[in-house]
Every structure is written in structure tokens, then in C-alpha cells.
Structure 1
Amino acid sequence: MPNIKILEVFKNDTWVKPFFTKYKTTLFWALFLGFMTLFSATALMFVSGYLISRSASNPYNILEVYVPVVLTRAFGIARPSFNYAERLVSHNWVLKMTSRLRLKLYEVMESDAIFFKRHYRTGDILGLLAEDINYIQNLYLRTIFPTIIAWLLYAFVIIGLGFFSWTFALVMLFLLGVEVVVVPYWSVVINGARRERQKAIRNDLYNRLTDNILGVSDWIFSRQGAEYVTLHEETEKEWRQVNEKMNAENRKRDFIVQVLFGVIAVLTLIWASQRFVGVEGDDANWIAAFVLAVFPLADAFTPLSDAAEETNTYGDSIVRLNSLESKPQVTPTDQVLEGPITIDIKDLTYTYDAAAGPVLDHLNLTFKAGEKIAVLGRSGSGKSTLLNLLRGDLSPQSGAIEMNGIPVTQFGDDIAKYIGVLQQTPYLFHTSILNNLHIGNQDATEEEAWDALERVGLKDLVAALPEGLETMIDEAGLRFSGGERHRLALARLILQDAPIILLDEPTVGLDPITEQALIQTFFSTLSDKTIIWVTHHLQGVQMADRVIFIEDGHLTMSGNPEALAATNDHYQKLMTIDAGAFLDR
């Protein structure tokens, strides 16, 4: 039986609950056919019991046996027929539902695909795809359908017995109620938490495995392969221990269930003997009928315990799916920005984890059109978060970021018209050079592509290739050096022609000579653009108009690099430290 937790989850659910009404007709037929399957199984045993007894008691007329024979055949054919039809209808219902769930999941992920990992790890995504959708599927096939059908059969049996004896019907109301209510509730209490823990461990395995596989080379190169295996084995061991405890409790529960059904069968035999033996006519033939009809009930009621204890895991899956849509929805603006664009950051606050405090705390800044700004700060100081907020990929908890008075979150996909981004590791796709450049502007001509390549210093390199712009780039662009990949990405930005460019530490991992040359290329090529450059050290910052330093979410320093170098002690210390680090490189 579903517990309170999943009922609470369903109240605000927008993923699963709507399918109850959308496919209500199919749902009705699935439940009806499921009930008829169990009814036919019970009726088959009931008629068979009567037929055996009647055949052994020297019937007066062949019709007394012929009718039960026909009914036995009818119910014998009906049970697998109804069961087959129920499987077709219920699985058709569930497959339609899960296919739409997967479609919705992909659409939600696709709408934020580039920045999805900022909210979810790869293992979380695998867990959503591989686990949660399957759990939702089982919610219907293993919990909702069997539970409703069992309750319908339970009511039918009690009402049917009431026609013969309300006293015995009340006894069965209690005993079968233990099977339908008490034992499932006990399973939730005993094993519900363990099943939740089992699912949490499995999700953790997804995360650990993806982390370890993506970083397996680091494990190997550091000669800690044994530690990698040990960490995985420890998690798997915990999963097995939880599973073993669950299985042990389930064996106890199943034993009690079987004993209870044995008691029900014996009590039915005693009641039927008292009710029908000694009565005139052939009423004694009904004893076997009632006793044999008890056994199919076990098939209907026994799965309820497993169904009940899984409800918490279903609830967790539904919560995870609904959390994908928890981000506030903003109506895109249809306004078009013209002329110089000024960015105003007003009392901006953003927090990932309330316990850890804000990453950016009441930040106020203004970036003028054409200004070149270098943003410095220690790791975790909020520099990259600021870029995400500038792009509208994150929404601040308070305050705002506006372009010419319009919040950036309202531009939606149109933000690409105004803001271009160069990441730390720009990606080149396994297609031609021209197609890679067209990512910046699909309508760019070959002449414009060559011009962009010339501006970033790659025209001669590409022209020397046998197929020129049609040269295929291998996966991830590995045939090109790090500096060349960055220059190709810069050529995309040139074709995109956005007035504001965000540089997110684009020179990380490059040697000092390549880094300096690339920085000079950025500033000379993008001289007419607003540049907001996040960097972790001072190499090349003298080319910026303004340097700002963010620490603990606050703006602690701002000014012209030359003026800061002459008058600011903190900046002078940073220059000394950075010069030492540069020499070490």
C-alpha cells in the first residue's frame, strides 16, 4: 500500500500524475482486465473443487457434472486470456507513459544542455535516465496496478462470503486485512529505509563510476589503481550488505504470509465443513470449492508487501524528476538592443548552498560598452559564477544583471546575439573546419570565414591543408594544438559578432609564450568589443582598461592596472606572487 511520503510527493507532481487522467480509459481497462485475471483464477479453483467433489459423489445426472466441466474450461481459458490482454493493455499504457516521460526529460535537459552539469553531475544524469524512469515504470506495473486490483478482489471476496455467513466474512475481513494492510505496512517500516539506502548507494555508484572512469588516467598515472578498485568494492560491499538484510527480512515476511494463508485455508475448511456438512442435498460438495479458492488469493495479495516497501524509492524518483523544472520560468523579452550596451550589476547575490553562504554577496558593478575588464580572484571566489549569471544561465537569488535596463535572464536563447563566450577548453567537432566556424554564424560565407581565420592568425595554416576549409577535423580537434584550438574558437566568435565577449580563463594549461601571444590576439582582434576576462593570474592584465578583484563574494579592488600597480599594496603583492609563479612555469 502506498505510504504517506509518496502521497505527499504526488500532491505537487507534474511528471507522473497527469498520466492518470490523460490515459484514464486505458487505465480502467488495465485494472478491469487485471481484476478479471485474478477472478478467473479464483473461480477456476472454486469450480474445480466443486467438480471434483461432485464427480466423486455419484451424480444423478450428467448435467450436474457437465456444467462445472464447461465452467472449468471457460475459466481455464479466461484466466490466461485476460492475463495476456491485461499485459498488453497495461504495458502499452506504461510504455506510452514512459516514452513521454523520456521525451520530456530529454527536452528539459536539451533546453539547458550546455550548462546542465552545473546543476547535475554525469552520474546524476545517468541515474535519471537509467534508474528513475524505470522506477516510475515499476510504480505502475508493480505497485499501483497490483494494489488496486488486490483491493478490488479483497472487497469482492468479503462481500461474496457475506452472502453465506457474515460472521465468517468478518473473520476473513480481519485475516485478509492483515495480508492487505498490516504486512505491507510492516514491510515499509522494516525495509523501506533499506530500499531507499540501496537506491542511494546505486546512485552513488553511478557518480563514482563516472568520476573514476573520466579520471581513470589520473588514477593510473598516480599509481593508485588499487585504491580506485578498493573504493568501488567498498561501495559495492555496502550495497550487498543492505541487499542481504532486505532479503533476510523478506524471507521472514514471506514465511509469515504463507503461514497466515495456511491458517486461512484451515479456517475456511472448518467453516465450510460446519456450514455445508449435514445439510440436505449436495451442499457438501461446496467444501472443496471454498477451500481451493483460497490459494489463488495468495498470488493476488503476496506482491503487495514488495510493492509497498518500494514506494519510497518511487517517491525519490518523482522528486528528482520534478526538481528538473524547479528553476523559475522567465518570459523571454522581444526587445532588441541597439547602440552601445552597458551592463549593470545591481546588488547581486547568488548562493549554491545556503549552509556555505553566498558565492556573490550584494555585488554592484557597471561594465561600459567597449570596456576591457579583467576579473581576478582565488578559486571559488565567484568569478565563473559571475560569467554564468552574465549569460543568464543562472538566476540570482536577489539583485539583477541588466543590459541597457533589461534583465539578462529575459533574453533566453537570444542572449547569443549580444554575448559570446570562449571557455577554458573550446571544443572542435568531428566535421569540416568550415562547419566548425559556422557554429558562430551559420550564414557566414567562405570569404568571411577566411577573413576570420586571417584575423586570428590561422589563414596560412588552413590554406596549406589539402582541402582547405573542407578539411575534416578529428574528434575534439586533437590534430590542433591548444593555442590553435583557441584561435579557431576565437574565429567563431568573430563570425558571431556579439558586442560582448566573455573569456573564461581561456589560457589555462598553455605554455607562457603561447598564452601571451593568444592574449594579445584576443585584445587586438576584439578591440571593438566589450571584453570581460576571468583569469587566475596577472599575465597580460596590463592590456585591460580595468582590473577588479573578487574575494568571498565581494568586490575588494577595482581600478586601472597601471594605477593599481603604482598605488595598491595588495595588487603589488599579487604581481610579485604571480611573477614568481610565471618564472616557475
Structure 2
Amino acid sequence: MLKTDHWVKPFLRHYKRTLVLAITLGILTFVCAGGLMFTSGFLISKSATRPENILLVYVPIVLTRGFGIFRPVMRYAERLTSHNWVFKMTSEFRKKMYDSLEQDAVFFNSKYRLGDILGLLSEDVAHIQNLYLRTIFPNFVAWGLYAIIVVSLGILSPAMGLVMLVLFGLIIFALPLWSVVVNGARQEYEKQVKNALYTDLTDNVMGIVDWVFAQRNQEYVDQHLASEHELYATQAALRKFERCRDFLLQVMILLIALALLGWGASRFGGQFGGPANWIAAFVLAIFPLEDALAGLPAAAQETNVYVDSLKRLNALPPVTTSPTSAPQLTAPLDFQLTDVHYTYPATTKEVLKGVDLQLPAGQKVAILGKSGSGKSTLASLLRGDRVPTAGQLTLAGVAPSELGDQIADFIGVINQAPYLFNTTVLNNLRIGNENASEADVWAVLEQVGLKATIERLPHGLATMVDSAGLRFSGGERHRLALARILLAKTPIVLLDEPTVGLDPVTERAVMNTFFTALQDKTLIWITHHLQGIEAMDRVIFLEDGQLAMDGTPRELAQTNARYRHLKAVDEGR
């Protein structure tokens, strides 16, 4: 995965200086911790005997004080540096991910599942953050300590350096590799069993009535218990392996302590007092090293958890740099469609088949058709979210897709479920125009018939709208979305079936508000029925991706029998 990775490795290179500093501080932290314990142990042992020279006690006292001060200082500096590095990395990481997802926003329903998106936005970012903090950093620190210990002891005694090379190598490399190979496979199997268990449980609970009617209640319970038993057995094997691995790690640390104890006592015992003075020194010095090494096997094993996250992230499309300046549009803002075809990616079904259409500026157009006729696809093409697979579509001579984010300056959209953020009413409305004054906001609220409603709220414009705008009814949320559009002053407004789910009375009131407030703008109304169609200048019917009817409501009512029939059915006659 790391060979082809373009999500994790770039940040290692981009912040390599900060990374090196954090690793260096981490190494110095454990060096100071080991030095503190070593000098403290020697001082305790030496102070229990009569020193031949005061320097034999005074020097360890100074070193103990020095190491005691520098250990927390280095630890604090390492935490500040490493977490600052991770926070900066995570910030850019999220931005890169959001930019990548934004490029594919209109294809979410066809390319991604909701669970994948939620995983990308939460779990995967946390996994990558843990990959740095719990795996990459500790391993780099351990490798640095490994090099210092082996080289230092190798200079004093090549034989002892070789012993440490083997023992520390087993802890730093062999045990983590063993954990990845053995327990990594078990972790993957545990994940598969757990996912299957969740899926079966959800499906069976949703279909519990069928199990009861079929009198197979016990079969369902037995099946679920068998799946749970399989999961528990796998988890028990994981825990058993971890206990065995941790025991071996402690045995190796004991061997390191005994080797250092014997070597130190024989090497320095005659120069600085008896061998007993070195027992506490070397034994205590091992404790900080254990803190640096004990978590490595578990950290390496966790890399299996990150594999799915890396796969999902690397499967995202690379972020493309948008042009710094979009083309300028000049009036009139007419739409021109010439032989427009569209086929969705990864499918062979053509949704639009040679549509020729002109939508002049200022015209009120209703686009109708049954589900699957191409209405929503046409709306996406007009917004520039999609590009025709063949033919040409322009707005004032420019393809809408070339306008990028600037398309929002020309086209406002109100869809089926306008979203309100969990902030104040004023902030929600100013999304349309950040520079709008409160007087401007009150003016558009009066236009959409909500001024009195907002005035009655506890804090007026400063009232929180609650999550997803639940403080307001469906009709009020649509009117607030319209107020945003009016503040933005976009010349073109696209209504994408905005009244779906509203009751007939509220629907009629909302549409009347729309028609009144938007009378001086180009209005494109995507709808599935003919209520209120008389307020439009033009009606277009799409059928099987092609234009089936086109004309004013009066013309179609006089000349088109099918239109009259559809109108009668829609009105319940």
C-alpha cells in the first residue's frame, strides 16, 4: 500500500524537518529518562557505602539533577512538536480529502455508499492520525535508541554490542513482524466476521416478522449465536496471542537487564567501586527503555487496521487545481443546448438523447417528465455539475462547467430539502451574501413572508435554528432558502422539485411565494406535476431523454390532447 500511497507519504516529506525534530526530541527524552534512572540507581547504591572520594557521590548528584530537569523538558517539547506536526498534517489532510470529495459531489449516490463517506470523514482520518502518533513516531524513536545503544556499547565492547544488536533487534523487528503476520490475519478475519454479523443482524431484525410467521424463531437465534461464538473464538485467540507475545517481550527485556548487569559489574566494578554499585544502575535504566519498546508489537499490529483506510483514501480522485479566473459572462444570460447527449459513468444507458433547446434570459420555464426521463440530469448539466458526453451546452456562450465555483454567482438552486446549519438565522441567510446588512436580511424575509415569524423568535435573527433547521417547518425552510437566493441576487434560479413532501396547501403557498419573489429572474422549475403551471411562460416535457412537448401553457392546452389529459389527471378530474 505504501509503495503506491499518495496520501500518507507526501506529508512525511512535506514536514520532514518538524518530523526529524520531533523524533530527535523523543529520542532525547528516553536518553534523559534512562540517564536519570541510571545515575539515580548508582547514587543510591554508592551512598549506602563510605565513598573514597566525594566526587563519586557529587557527580551522580549533579547528573541526576540534570537528567531529572531535562527529561520532562524534552518530553514536553517532544509532545508540543509531534502534536503540532500531526495537527498541521491533519488540517491539510482533511482539506485535501474534502477537495477530492467535492470534485465528485454530484456522483456520491452513484459512486459511494453513505457508510464509506462517513468512514472517510471520521474513522479514516483518525486512523491516519493514529498511524503517525502510535506507529510511525514510536518506531522512529525506537530505531534511534537502538542505534545509539548498539553503537555505544559496541565501541566499549564489540561482544556486548553484538548481544544488544540481537536482543534489541528481536524486540524492535521480530516481535512486531510476528504480530503483523499472525495476529494481523486474525484481525482481518475478526473484521470480516463482525461485518457479516452486523449485516445479518440488521437484515434479520428488519425481517423479524417473516421469521415469526415462518415459525423459524429458534433457527434465527441459533444462527446468530453461532456467528457470535465464531467472533468470540477469534477474539479469544487474539488475546491469547497478545498475552504470549507480551510475556516473550518481558523475557527479552529481562535478558537485556541481566546481560547489562553482568557486563557492567565486571567492566566497571573495579574502577568505580564494587559490582553491587551497578546493580540498581543498570536494572533501573531498563525501565524507560521498556516504555519505549513495549508498545511496538501492538503498534505494528494496528497497521492492519489502517489498510482499509489507506485503500479508501487512495481510491479517491486526485485533487485537480481549478483555474484561478473563470470566464466572464456578458448579458443576455441565455442557455443554448445543441444536440446534447448524456450517459452516466460506468453505465451504457443514455439518459439524454440529442436535446436541442434554447432558454432565453428572463423566461419562466417548467420542465416536466416522469421519473427517469432526464429532468434532474438536465438540471445538473445546466448547473455545470455534469458535462455532456456529446453535444454542446452554453450559458451566454460559455460552458457552465468552465465557471467552477463562480457558477453560484449566476445560478441559485432550491432543491427538495433545503439545508439549514446549526447556527443563527442571520448566519444561515448570509450564506447567500456575506456582506448583507441586517436591513437587507429583514427586507428579503419580508419578501418571502417570514418577517413576522422571525420577529416572534426569542432572539430574532440571532436565534439558533437547531440541527438541520428542525425549529422550522418544511414550508418555512423553503422560504428561508428562497431568502438566501434573494440575498445572493443571482439572475437565474433553478427550482429542483422544491415542494416534494409538502402538503397541498403549503405547497401552493410556497410556490406562490416563489413566483412572486422571482418574477424578475430567469426561472427554471423542475417538477413532476402541473399544479401552478399557468404561472410559467413555457412548459417542456421530457420523455425517455428527448423533448416530447414544448410550448406555452395556453398553446399546449389548446393544441395538445395529451397535455390536456395530463392536466386533468393531475387535477384529479
Residue 374 of structure 1: how far off its partner (Å): 1.0
Instruction: Out of 147-156 and 359-368, give the one that drifted further.
Output: 359-368
Greater mean deviation of Cα atoms: 81-90 or 8-17: 8-17
Shift in Å, 1:421: 0.9
Query: Judging changes above 3 Å, is the alpha-carbon distance between structure 1 residues 392 and 286 closer, same or farther for their aligned structure 2 residues?
Result: farther
1:9 aligns with 2:5: yes
More displaced 10-residue stretch of structure 1: 406-415 or 176-185: 406-415
Which of 166, 184, 187 aligns to 1:174? It is 166
Amino acid at match of 1:100: K
Counterpart in the other structure of 1:33: 28
Match of 2:569 in 1: 579
Pick closer, same or farther for the CA change 1:190–1:538 going to 2, 3 Å. farther
Look up the equivalent residue of 2:328 and give its one-letter code. Answer: Q
Contact 1:29 1:89 in 2 (8 A): no
Superposition pairs of residues 519-558 of structure 1, within 5 angstroms: 519=511, 522=514, 526=518, 529-537=521-529, 539=531, 543=536, 544-549=538-543, 555-558=545-548
Which one is further off, 329-338 or 479-488? 479-488
Q: Does the CA-based 8 Å contact 1:330-1:409 persist in structure 2?
A: no
- Structure 1 contact 401–407 (Cα < 8 Å) conserved: yes
Q: Deviations over 1:274-321 (max 9, x none)?
A: x76999997866974896355654333222112222334456556767
Are 1:341 and 2:334 an aligned pair?
A: yes
- RMSD between aligned residues: 5.7
Q: Do residues 368 (structure 1) and 359 (structure 2) align?
A: yes
Q: Distance in 1 between matches of 2:455 and 2:271?
A: 105
What code does the residue aligned with 1:9 have?
D
Q: Which residue of 2 aligns with 1:188?
A: 180
1:20 aligns with 2:16: yes
The superposition leaves residues 122-159 of structure 1 with CA deviations (integer Å, 9 ceiling, x where unpaired) of 87777667655554444444333322222222223323
Matches within 5 A, 1:166-565: 166-192=158-184, 245-266=237-258, 288=279, 292=283, 296-314=288-306, 326-331=318-323, 332-344=325-337, 346-351=340-345, 354=346, 366-369=357-360, 370=363, 372-378=365-371, 383-384=375-376, 386-393=378-385, 402-426=394-418, 440=432, 458=449, 462=451, 475=465, 482-483=474-475, 485-487=477-479, 489-490=481-482, 492-494=484-486, 496-516=488-508, 518-519=510-511, 522=514, 526=518, 529-537=521-529, 539=531, 543=536, 544-549=538-543, 555-560=545-550
**Bigger shift: residues 177-186 or 362-371:** 362-371
Displacement of 1:252 in angstroms is 1.6
Pair 1:173–1:15, CA change in 2 (3 A): closer
Pair 44,464 (structure 1): closer, same or farther in 2 beyond 3 Å: closer
Shifted more, 171-180 versus 112-121: the winner is 112-121
Q: Tell me the matched-pair count.
A: 533
CA drift of 1:384 comes to 4.0
Q: In structure 2, how many angstroms separate the alpha carbons of the residues matched to 1:283 and 1:397? A: 87
1:159 maps onto 2:151 in alignment? yes
Cα 1:36–1:377 change in 2 (3 A) is: farther
When normalised by structure 1's length, the TM-score is 0.68
Report the counterpart of residue 83 of structure 1 in structure 2.
71
Task: Report the residue type matching 2:140 in the other structure.
Answer: I
Which deviations, in whole Å up to 9, do the C-alpha atoms of 1:215-250 show, x marking residues without a partner? xxx9xxxxxxxxxxx9xx999999988765543322
Are residues 402 and 512 of structure 1, via their aligned partners in 2, closer, same or farther at CA, if it must alter by over 3 Å?
Answer: same
How far off is 1:509 after superposition? 1.4
Matches for 1:99-114 after TM superposition, within 5 Å: 99-101=87-89, 103-104=91-92
CA change 1:302–1:547 in 2 (3 A) is: same
Worse-superposed segment, 107-116 or 37-46: 107-116
Separation of aligned partners in 2, 1:440 and 1:295: 61
Deviation at 1:424, TM superposition (A): 1.4
Partner Cα separation in structure 1 for residue 90 and residue 66 of structure 2 = 35
How far apart in 1 are the matches of 2:4 and 2:330? 46
For 1:277 and 1:462, how far apart are their aligned partners in 2?
Answer: 88
Quote the offset at 1:579 in angstroms. Answer: 3.4
Q: Is the 8 A contact 2:142 2:292 kept in 1?
A: yes
The C-alpha deviation readout for 1:430-452, integer Å capped at 9, x for no partner, is: 99989877665655896997699
Distance 1:25 1:179 in 2: 23
What is the letter of the counterpart of residue 332 of structure 2? Answer: G
Amino acid of the structure 1 residue aligned with 2:497: E
Question: Which ranges in structure 1 are unaligned for 5 or more consecutive residues?
Answer: 206-210, 212-217, 219-229
State the secondary structure of the residue aligned to 1:250: helix
Worse overlay, 413-422 or 189-198 = 189-198
Matches within 5 A, 1:90-169: 90-101=78-89, 103-104=91-92, 119=108, 131-132=123-124, 134-169=126-161
Match of 1:227 in 2: none
Residue 548 of structure 2 aligns to which amino acid in structure 1? S
Q: Is the 8 A contact 1:419 1:500 kept in 2?
A: yes
Which range is displaced more, 154-163 or 284-293?
284-293
Deviation at 1:425, TM superposition (A): 3.0
Change (3 A) 1:384 1:366: same
Select the residue among 49, 61, 73 that pairs with 1:73: 61
CA distance in 2 between counterparts of 1:422 and 1:43 reads 71
Q: Would the aligned equivalents of 1:392 and 1:409 in 2 still touch at CA under 8 Å?
A: yes
Which secondary structure state, in structure 1, belongs to the residue aligned with residue 5 of structure 2? helix
* Aligned equivalents of 1:573, 1:252: Cα separation in 2: 81
Q: For the residues of structure 1 that align with 2:82 and 2:371, how far apart are their CA atoms? A: 51
Distance 2:395 2:487 in 1: 22
Match of 1:62 in 2: 52
Corresponding letter in the other structure for 1:372: V
> How far did 1:189 drift?
2.0
Cα contact 2:29–2:71 (8 A) shared by 1 = yes
How much has 1:182 moved relative to structure 2? 0.9
Report if the CA contact (8 A) 2:327-2:398 is conserved. Answer: no
Shift of 1:92: 1.0
Over 3 Å counting, the alpha-carbon distance change for 1:175 and 1:243 in structure 2 is: same
TM-score for both structures, normalised by structure 2: 0.69
What's 2:210 paired with? none
Structure 1 CA distance for aligned equivalents of residues 296 and 424 of structure 2: 58
CA distance in structure 1 between the aligned counterparts of 2:59 and 2:388, rounded to whole angstroms: 70
The Cα offsets for residues 310-367 of structure 1, whole Å up to 9 and x where unpaired, read as 334456556767777834332141513321322447544443xx4x777957875544
Deviation at 1:535, TM superposition (A): 2.9
Question: Does the residue aligned with 1:310 lie in a helix, a strand or coil?
Answer: helix
Indicate the residue corresponding to 2:215 in structure 1: none
